[in-house]
Amino acid sequence: MQTKIAPFLWFNGNAEEAMHFYVSIFPNSRVGTVSRYPDTGPAPAGSVMTAQCELNGQEFVLLNGGPHFKFTEAVSFLIRCDDQKELDYYWDKLIAGGGAPSIGGWLKDKFGLSWQVVPRHLTDLVGGKDTKRAGLVMQALLKMQKIDIAALEQAAA
């Protein structure tokens, strides 16, 4: 599948490993084409240059570009979850093997890529006309790493 717009992510020698990691987590996902560097470089001939995959229907391209660029929180992927079980699943899978939690549902996976694992209705909980309610939910959210949906809903009540 080639979509018109696809995230293109820079890795340092572990793009194929990352592709398999992500495909193992997301439903409706598949491994795609793996291309290799030619004899002319810039990496060793035959080493993985790009790994394409589909994660829940969204195309991703992962490049082994070397150590020049690192992921930052300036770019993250948002996973909207329907319930606590789904939220726990994605949180636990993405943080496994060396990931790190942050606050308010943010985490970095073992490759340094940032994710937001949040309830689907988070925008409703922290938005709307009731600014007092939104403030209470935001205060609760900022005390959490992995989100506890029931606690957010209690703060909203």
End-to-end CA distance of the chain: 44
* 78-97 per-position pLDDT tens digit: 999 999 999 999 999 999 99
Q: What is the 8-class DSSP label of residue 126?
A: H
Instruction: State what percent of residues in the chain have pLDDT above 70.
Output: 99
Under 8 Å between Cβ of 79 and 146: no
pLDDT at 22 over 80: yes
Under 8 Å between Cβ of 104 and 117: no
In a domain, 15, yes or no: yes
Q: Which of 15, 47, 43 is nearest to 111 (CA)?
A: 15
Return the CATH number at 137.
3.10.180.10
The region that residue 71 occupies, defined by phi over 0 for left and psi between -120 and 50 for alpha, beta otherwise, is beta
- In this structure, the answer to whether residues 81 and 137 fall within a common structural domain is yes
**The pTM of the whole model exceeds 0.85:** yes
Q: How many domains are there within the chain? A: 2
- In this structure, the answer to whether residues 26 and 57 fall within a common structural domain is yes
For 127, the domain range is: 76-156
Under 8 Å between Cβ of 108 and 100: yes
* 95-142 per-position pLDDT tens digit: 999 999 999 999 999 999 999 999 998 888 888 788 998 999 999 999
- In this structure, the answer to whether residues 59 and 89 fall within a common structural domain is no
Return the CATH number at 43.
3.30.720.100
- In this structure, the answer to whether residues 31 and 60 fall within a common structural domain is yes
Tell how far CA 70 is from the center of its chain: 15
In a domain, 71, yes or no: no
